[in-house]
Amino acid sequence: FLTSYTPYQPEIAQGTLQYLYEFQTQVANLTGMPVANASLYDGSTAMAEGVLMATRVTRRNKAVISGGVHPHYVRATETVVHAVGVETEALPAAVDAEADVIARIGPDTACVVVQTPNIFGTATDVTKIAEAAHAAGALLIVVVTEAVSMGLLKSPGEMGADIVAAEGQSIGNALNFGGPYVGLFATREKLIRQMPGRLTGETVDADGERGFVLTLSTREQHIRRDKATSNICTNSGLCTLAFTIHMSLLGETGLRKLALLNHEKAVATRDALAAIPGVEILTPRFFNEFAVRLPKNAAEVVDTLASHHILAGVPYSRLAPDAGLDDVLLVAATETTLDTDITLLAKALGKVLAA
């Protein structure tokens, strides 16, 4: 990819355009969708763009959001869509109730938004939700905050998603103290003209050789602002390139092995914590994250363990202070988690809770 130049001049940007094309192919395969764009800022803004896209497609003005969607994603989406008059109904936080959105679908519903695995780690087959949404003329948006999970779980496309908004950070990109990240966005082919962001297509040059160009450009930089699908740009291109290289090195087999390793470590962590008196495992089905209920305030427990150089997880109250779930702790385990880490966490947590 030696021609890393802005893709507006394809004559001197074939390197950039080629890796964006490969990125789109990888994201489409990962999500089980026919088409993907060249990325967005991050998962939360991808969700917001998905809601706006659904309102354009259906000509309706309301989004129903499940109680399992990450609270920060909900807040970011509300900030974006409320500014243009789109109504949202966010259901109360719930560990395993993605299907509750079905009862909230009405004639004014443009889309329902669900997340799997959700903020509590619960993995859900959303096929029935897709059927209910489609029967009412609404779209289904599936949010995925952990891209590696799609290497093991049924893809959103297989379950009937119309739009997939995901965070790709865990593939090839560091946490970077909160960013920049890489938003993944995929949809059905019939909806492609309403998809936000850049789209790279394959063509031939003057000599008949394979080449790449931007196509179907509908951002406000390219056409009249009132006719544009979005004013959003792609993410930092370096993040997309890192994602593409990492995925290319992993391959399909490597991604599945990576996903299995994540799940195995999470199961081992779950088993270790479940053996601690007073700890209740809340998440029934999970990939690499799960929620537990503690007999003490979760934030205080996390602070105590942090003072002993142990990062126990994220208290749910940090994400949603008013949810009334101050005793809930979110725990994650990845391929980098060692067996000694799990033992150390369980032993230290047991001591803190017994004190």
CB contact at 8 A, 235 and 246: no
Residue 265 is assigned to a structural domain of this protein: yes
| Cis-peptide, bond into residue 321, ω within 30° of zero | no
Percent of the chain surpassing pLDDT 90: 86
The pTM is what? 0.95
Residue after which a domain boundary falls, among 247, 275, 310: 247
Give the separation between CA 125 and CA 260, rounded to whole angstroms: 18
Q: Are residues 204 and 234 in the same domain?
A: yes
Task: Write out the two tokens for 140.
Answer: 């289904």
Predicted local distance difference test score (pLDDT) of residue 179: 86
Q: Are residues 289 and 199 in the same domain?
A: no
pLDDT in tens, 298-318: 999 999 999 999 999 999 999
> Which residue in 153, 149, 169, 216 sits closest to 44, CA to CA?
169
What is the mean predicted confidence (pLDDT) over 258-275? 98
Residue after which a domain boundary falls, among 219, 247, 275: 247
Predicted local distance difference test score (pLDDT) of residue 280: 98
pLDDT in tens, 155-188: 999 999 999 999 999 999 999 998 889 999 999 9
* Domain span holding position 230: 10-247
Residue 2 is assigned to a structural domain of this protein: no
Alpha carbon separation from 135 to 131, 159, 219 (Å, rounded): 6, 15, 31
CB contact at 8 A, 205 and 66: no
DSSP 326: T
Residue 285 is assigned to a structural domain of this protein: yes
pLDDT in tens, 327-346: 999 999 999 999 999 999 99
> Can you spell out the DSSP letters for 76-144?
HHHHHHHTTT-EEEEPPP-SS-GGGGGGG--TTEEEEEEESS-TT-B----HHHHHHHHHTT-EEEEEE
Given a cut of 80, is residue 236 above it in pLDDT? no
CB contact at 8 A, 21 and 214: no
Give the separation between CA 35 and CA 55, rounded to whole angstroms: 19
pLDDT band at 290 (very low <50, low <70, confident <90, very high): very high
Q: Are residues 61 and 126 in the same domain?
A: yes
Q: Are residues 211 and 335 in the same domain?
A: no
What is the CATH number for 265? 3.90.1150.10
Residue 5 is assigned to a structural domain of this protein: no
pLDDT band at 190 (very low <50, low <70, confident <90, very high): very high
- 270: Cβ contacts below 8 Å, ≥ 6 apart: 281, 286, 290, 331
pLDDT in tens, 34-60: 999 999 999 999 999 999 999 999 999
Residue 178 burial class via C-beta count within 10 angstroms: exposed 0-12, middle 13-18, buried 19 and up: exposed
Residue after which a domain boundary falls, among 220, 247, 274: 247
